[in-house]
Homo-oligomer: A and B are copies of this chain.
Amino acid sequence: MTDNAAKKRIVIVGSGFGGMAAAKALKGVDAEIALVDKTNHHLFQPLLYQVATAALSPADIATASRALLRHQPNVGVLMAEVTGVDADRRLVHLAGGRELPYDYLVLAIGAAYSFFGHDAWAEFAPTLKSLSDALSIRARLLSAFEKAEECGDPKLIAKLLTFVVVGAGPTGVELAGTIAELARSTLARDFKAIDPRSARVILCEAGPRALSAFPQRLSDYAAEALRSLGVELRLGEAVNEIDADGLFVGGARIEASNVLWCAGTEARPAARWLDAEAARNGAVKVAPDCSVPGRPEIFVIGDAASFSDSAGAPLPGLAPVAKQQGHYVGRLIKARLAGGADAEPFHYRNYGTMAIIGRSRAIADFGRFTLTGFPAWVTWSLVHLMLLVDFRSRLTVYVNWSWAWFTYARGARLLTSEARDDSG
């Protein structure tokens, strides 16, 4: 591939927050860098639930990776699926049989949702990780109301208008809150045969509280906010079984056409590829410099990695962790290529965490102080607008949000006939 064999080759797998930050930190480095991802875009995942609930369009939260890295001639973008790593021969295997040699490898491949051994549930309970996931969930949600409007059978209507979200982490809370708003506000006046406000939105959590990564006071606020939006919060109730017509939660049956899965995540393939030690959730246990023990040329970052801070607790699977690790690893490789000394270990700076519950309601934990309600929501909105990578996205998201806030409308309520068929 290269006509200059002396150049070091750096392969970065994953164009999420971690991989993109690593690529950016390598700007100007005299190396041949390949950024490999199975999509062609960098996705702003914190807003993915807004695509799934028809508030934003895919293009509002995703940008072509090539466009983002246009001014870095040392990076080549490759749209391909990685199927494995040969750590001894220093090769990345791509689907279709191609191999990519590397001198340094950065695995920023994220995590998938885990069904805790019940992989059969995946068929009935979609998860939300990619743009395709979001569009398919959007089609399912919107067509549930369309089907209910037409069917004329009260039992089937009740089942179609029952939405169950499993897992009360940030994504589960965001989805449940937004689906409730969709039914109670956006769609409320648009149907004749059904009353969308009669929709049930149930949020199940096996643990004792919602948003358990936040302080108790904020969890309590979130639970109260969810209830005021009309979400039934079922805490301490584990899912026993999921099928095409609903699920069993805490032993009780719920008939529901739509079950969305936002429970535990699992970072499977990286540890297997590298034959490395994994944490309980499958993430690769990494050294203080984010490298894989025994493989100083391989780094695993973001959700795919299990990094223990000085107190021994693993860092959470959040965008800022991935971004900071990507930036750190990029600079580390840059220093090594320049023959620099050993680096300081990675240190995560926690600038605060936030979760949004719905229109005008959010929580924010900045360590020394916390915010709830409207001030937290304004902070959340501003921070997320500023984090969007390009100015065009910022403007269109701002327009869409302002519009939605004042009118309760949602601009992306689109069902094509095909999408409807897909949604079964």
CB within 8 Å of B: which residues of A? 38-41, 57-60, 62-64, 66-67, 70, 76-81, 130-132, 142-143, 146, 149-150, 187, 189-192, 391-393, 395-396, 399-400, 403, 409, 411-420
Give the docked Cα–Cα distance between A230 and B149 (Å). Answer: 51
A393 and B78 CA atoms in complex are apart in Å by 33
Q: Which residues of chain B are near A67, meaning CB under 8 Å?
A: 190, 409, 413
Q: Kindly provide the distance from the CB of A399 to the nearest chain B CB, expressed in whole angstroms.
A: 5
A142 touches B40 (CB 8 A): yes
Inter-chain CA distance A351–B363, complex, in Å, is: 54
Assembly CA distance A79 to B146 (angstroms): 7
Distance in angstroms from A8 CB to nearest chain B CB is 17
Kindly state the separation between the CA atoms of A412 and B60 in the bound complex, as whole angstroms. 8
Contact, CB under 8 Å: B415 / A59: no
8 CB-based A-B contacts, threshold 8 Å? A39-B417, A41-B413, A41-B414, A63-B411, A66-B187, A79-B415, A132-B419, A392-B403
Write the nearest CB–CB distance from A45 to chain B, whole angstroms: 14
Counted per complex, copies of this chain come to 2
> How far does the Cβ of A148 sit from chain B's closest Cβ, in whole Å?
11
B64 and A414 within 8 A (CB): yes
Q: Would you call A132 and B417 a contact (CB within 8 A)?
A: yes
Bound form: Cα–Cα A411–B394 in Å: 12
A150 neighbours in B (Cβ, 8 Å): 78-80
Residues A416 and B130 in contact, CB atoms below 8 Å apart: yes
- Which of B57, B76, B409 sits near A57, CB closer than 8 Å? B57
What residues of chain B lie closer than 8 Å to A149, measured between beta carbons?
78
Given contacts A41-B414, A57-B59, 17 further A-B contacts (CB under 8 A): A39-B414, A40-B142, A40-B146, A41-B415, A57-B60, A58-B414, A63-B411, A79-B420, A81-B417, A130-B416, A130-B417, A131-B414, A132-B418, A132-B419, A392-B403, A392-B409, A399-B399
